[in-house]
A and B are shown apart, each in its own frame.
Chain A
Amino acid sequence: MTETVISMDIDERRATAALQELSDKLDAASGKIILDFAAVHRIHASVLRGLEELAHAADQKGLAIVLRCVGLNAYRVLKLVRLTRRFSFEN
């Protein structure tokens, strides 16, 4: 399975843009997409929206999205909005 690894930027605006870009490129993607959250300390509303859209698009294309190195506080946010079941998580 091919893997595409993308590091999420700590800057909210760049992170949001990156998610948007990724959503747009999903047609050409295959296999597993890994988003590295090591640099992300807080989930902002726009990132949350981006992840929801990404999850929806990935579902439609049958792609697996893995979130890597998600901090505990960020994980809680994803849990509270029921997004954790849409992704896999890696340390």
Chain B
Amino acid sequence: MIASDMAQERTQAAAPTDSLSLERTAYLDTLVTQATTAAALFSQFTQEEVDRIVKAMAMAGLEQAQHLARLAVEETRLGVMEDKVIKNMVASEFVYNYVKDRRTVGVIREFPERNLFEIAEPVGVLFSLTPITNPTSTVIFKCIVAVKTRNTIVFSPHPKAWRCCAEAVRIMYETAVKHGAPEGVFSCIESPTLPDNAYLMRHKDVAMIDATGGPGAVKAAYSSGKPALGVGPGNTPVYLEKTADLNCAVVDIIISKTFDNGTICASEQTVVIDDEIYDATLEKFASLGAHICNEEETDLLGRTVIDPQTGFMQPMAVGQKATDIARFIGLKVKPETKLLIAPIRGVGREHPLSVEKLFPVLAVYRAKSVNEALRVCVDVNHAGGVGHTAIVFSRDDEVVRQFGEVINAGRIIVNSPGSIGALGAVYNDLVPTFSFGCGTGGGNSTTDNVNIYHYLNIKRIARRTQNHMWFRVPNQIYFNMNAVENVRNFPSRSTVLVTNPALEQMGHEDIVRRNLGPDTHLHVLVIPDTEPEINTIMRGVEELNLYKADQIIALGGGSVIDAAKIMKLKYESPEADLEELAAPFLDLRKRVVQYPKEKTKRVRLIAIATTSGTGSEVTPFAVLTDKASGRKVTLADYSISPDVAIVDPQFVLSMPKSLTADTGIDCLTHALEAAVSNYASPYTDSNAMQAIRLAFRYLPSAFEHPQDEEARSMMHNAACIAAMAFSNASLGVNHALAHAFGARFGVAHGRANALMLPHVIAYNAAVPAKFMPSPYTQGYAANKKYATIADLLGLGGNTVEEKVAKLIAATERLLDQLGFPRSIAELGISKEEFERAIPGLVKVTFDDPSWRSNPRMPLMKELVELFRKAYEGRGASQRSRVNGEQTT
């Protein structure tokens, strides 16, 4: 941009529109109205119609390239006519070649594997500024891109290039309309002024501004409140590194810097040359027509071609030949001189030639090291060229990569001329353009080479995806009486048996020992039968290391098996951070934390359940207590599931009644929650339903007649089957409530579940106040699922509501049979104490990930109500329905 025009540009933003006459406003409105109508009509065009017009326009650009180039040079007095011919041809032919096969109408891209496709929507009417440096080529380029995307343009050329631009617009317009484009597709303001621009930038019917102009114009565009594309100023650093092909590099730089007398803003400005090749480089330049300035001449140049007041290049020098510049400032050079080269020692105001110079004057700098070279290039880049272009000549890929990382430029050109290289599609595969986005560094919204996709609103049609689901359980599950004998099928040199004191005393450990191979060394680790703490885990890991265990057998209930799972994890992956692995997640497949896959050693885990039960022998979960904070830490990953599960009912025959009831109801709750979970599938449903059926049928017998082997066996299986279901379908709000309540008031897990269960069934079966967003389910079906369960249990009922009521009643009868307290109040907790605890309970419940698969999204106030109903006890939910209240 010429300095004086820069000054004019800087006032663009403040250009008053009230200085426009009514006639002028009417004239501008007419241009926009015509463009609006044309854009509306254009929106009906097919891809074939558009492409036919674009091809004709490209041909016209090629045929008129010389005519327009001559006009441009005559009017602007800048540049080289022959080079402007090339620019016009690039704008026609190369841009056409890029766009011709690209879809810009209707469906433009499809991603069937993602169930996604894109449809193009034109932006509408563009208000486009064009520069003095590339007037006609920019017009040709923008017209082709606009027609390809079914948009229309009102052009405002640079005032000192408006005639040649108007002619280019005329040629493009007549060609386009002749081949079917709607009238009004392009127009060009006659004798454009800053108030014209300001008016149109705010015009209600202009959809977007494309400002290929100076910083002031670009800033005005972005400040207008309209979507805008802009360009930024350049100050292109070049690193000529010692491994470069010197011959090629010097010729490329001369080609680029003299192309159109240096008017392309991507052209080389300061060449930083490695010390090793500095002298040879300058000799080469000199041999090919460059004048190497001495110190005095450099000083003269700096004082004349750069304005000492502003620090910007002098307008009189822009686009002028090297010999004309030299003559003008009194510098003696040979008549065939192409380029003036000025050695500089730094970057900044003290080194005036380190700024952008849109004419054939090139600064050079001698660098003693790669670091120094890159540092100076960064300095040049930041001296008015951030985001624009940078060039490196090197055959060292590491240098190229480093250069690309430290320099902030939208285009990093390697081993090619900068100006033509940045245009794209000539020396490289960059998108061809005459509008260089410079990103935030240049005050623009993109670093792209602007082309067709910037003239489109792209609509993305996203079909619902069927997320793949899974059913994962240990691949070996042995069940029925004496299933423990299968342990002998797993050879082991050193086995650590993890169990609790009660089981050790009962002699269950001996049953396992008898079934191990004769060569297996067995060590017994007795741990407390409470939720494992970190100390317990680490003690276990020490033992595993001490005995170099290749097998762990966990013999116990959920706590023992969970402890063994975590011991295995830490034994195999000592660096695993349990706290980190317990981080919350929403979707198992997208979780932030990944469980270790690389293991220093491997150990087999066989889980033998002695309760019916948590089902921990087949689940991917383990719960740890942090004693210091009292917090429960839940680990969840299929990698921690046991390798082998043994469901042998002999180990549960001696379970006391209270434990039978607690673990039995835990099993039933698992199954009920898995059945209505948002992650339920036909695979988990089959398990859940079977487990429910078994629990209702056999739990009372197992409770009343502990030695009933069939009942014990069926309940033991039910617990494992229910766990297979919830291992894949997850749980729900019942467990979240029970976790919070049980931890706060020291109530056994099964008992806590029992207190919530009837109320949660009623809650889930009612129409939700808030549905749970879930990509895995279609529609709301919890009530129907409960009804299906009621049918499965033969409970009767005609409507869904009746069946749900019967299921709740059957559940309550079961809880009565098992002797459970039917309200929290019955536990002796006072109402006042409970009410005080509710806020904390609700918070902990809401933090519990269990509810995230619940079919109904629990609101905080609903959790409060559920806790209160559980406090009140039997029939509380039913009374809510009878009184006409929505069940929570």
Q: What residues make up the interface of A, taking CB atoms closer than 8 Å to B? A: 42-45, 48, 73-74, 76-78, 80-81
Contacts and interface: CB of A to CB of B under 8 A. Distances in A.
Contact of A73 (B37, B44, B182): B44
Contacts of B41: 43-45, 48, 77
A15 B40 CA distance: 19
8 contacts: A43-B44, A45-B37, A73-B43, A73-B44, A76-B44, A77-B40, A80-B43, A81-B37
A48 B41 CA distance: 9
Contacts of B724: none
A45 B183 contact: yes
Contacts of B183: 45
Contacts of B39: 80
A78 B41 CA distance: 9
Contacts of A76: 40, 43-44
Interface string B35-60: 01101110110000000000000000
Contacts of A45: 37, 41, 182-183
A57 B207 CA distance: 30
Closest 9 CB pairs of A and B: A80-B40, A77-B40, A81-B40, A73-B44, A42-B44, A81-B37, A45-B182, A45-B41, A76-B43
A56 to B, nearest CB: 15
B36 A77 contact: no
B182 A80 contact: no
A79 B840 CA distance: 56
Nearest to B182: A45
Q: Counting chain B CB atoms within 10 Å of each CB, which of A43, A44, A45 scores highest?
A: A45
Given A45-B182, A73-B43, 11 more contacts: A43-B41, A45-B37, A45-B41, A48-B37, A48-B41, A73-B44, A74-B44, A77-B41, A77-B43, A81-B36, A81-B40
Contacts of B182: 45
A57 B794 CA distance: 75
Contacts, number: 30
A73 B43 CA distance: 8
B42 to A, nearest CB: 9
Contacts of A48: 37, 40-41
A52 to B, nearest CB: 9
Interface of B: 36-37, 39-41, 43-44, 124, 182-183
A22 B523 CA distance: 103
Contacts of A43: 41, 44
Chain A contact residues: over half helix, strand or loop, or mixed? helix
Contacts of B40: 48, 76-78, 80-81
A48 B44 CA distance: 13
A43 B42 CA distance: 10
A76 B121 CA distance: 12
Nearest to B184: A45
Nearest to A81: B40
Q: Counting chain B CB atoms within 10 Å of each CB, which of A44, A77, A78 scores highest?
A: A77
A19 to B, nearest CB: 16
B35 to A, nearest CB: 11
A3 B37 CA distance: 30
B635 to A, nearest CB: 55
A1 B39 CA distance: 37
Contacts of A77: 40-41, 43-44
Contacts of B44: 42-43, 73-74, 76-77
A76 B39 CA distance: 11
Q: Counting chain A CB atoms within 10 Å of each CB, which of B36, B37, B39, B183 scores highest?
A: B37
A45 B41 CA distance: 7
Nearest to A83: B40
Contacts of A73: 43-44
A66 to B, nearest CB: 21
A73 B182 CA distance: 16
Contacts of A74: 44
A76 B37 CA distance: 12
A67 to B, nearest CB: 16
Nearest to A44: B41
A81 B36 CA distance: 7
Nearest to A41: B44
B754 to A, nearest CB: 59
Nearest to A49: B37
A85 B71 CA distance: 46
B490 to A, nearest CB: 68
A44 B38 CA distance: 10
A40 to B, nearest CB: 11
Nearest to A74: B44
A80 B41 CA distance: 9
A74 B37 CA distance: 13
A44 B37 CA distance: 10
A29 B828 CA distance: 88
B222 to A, nearest CB: 25
Contacts of A80: 36, 39-40, 43, 124
A42 B182 CA distance: 12
A78 B124 CA distance: 14
B182 to A, nearest CB: 6
A80 B36 CA distance: 8
A31 B36 CA distance: 32
A72 B43 CA distance: 12
B676 to A, nearest CB: 43
Nearest to B40: A80
Nearest to A47: B41
Nearest to B39: A80
Nearest to B34: A45
Contacts of B124: 80
B154 to A, nearest CB: 16
A88 B376 CA distance: 68
Nearest to B183: A45
Nearest to A78: B40
A15 to B, nearest CB: 14
A74 B36 CA distance: 15
A48 B34 CA distance: 12
A48 B182 CA distance: 12
A44 B44 CA distance: 10
B350 to A, nearest CB: 56
A31 B43 CA distance: 33
B37 to A, nearest CB: 6
A45 B36 CA distance: 12
B854 to A, nearest CB: 42
Contacts of A44: 41
B48 to A, nearest CB: 14
Nearest to B45: A42
A74 to B, nearest CB: 8
A42 B40 CA distance: 11
A81 B205 CA distance: 10
Contacts of A78: 40
A80 B44 CA distance: 12
A84 to B, nearest CB: 11
A76 B42 CA distance: 11
A70 B741 CA distance: 64
A42 to B, nearest CB: 5
A42 B36 CA distance: 17
A68 to B, nearest CB: 19
Q: Counting chain B CB atoms within 10 Å of each CB, which of A74, A76, A78, A80 scores highest?
A: A80
A77 B39 CA distance: 9
B176 to A, nearest CB: 14
A13 to B, nearest CB: 16
B50 to A, nearest CB: 14
Nearest to B37: A81
Nearest to A42: B44
B31 to A, nearest CB: 15
A7 to B, nearest CB: 21
Contacts of A81: 36-37, 40
A44 B39 CA distance: 12
Contacts of A42: 44
A43 B183 CA distance: 13
A45 B183 CA distance: 8
A45 to B, nearest CB: 6
Q: Counting chain A CB atoms within 10 Å of each CB, which of B36, B40, B182 scores highest?
A: B40
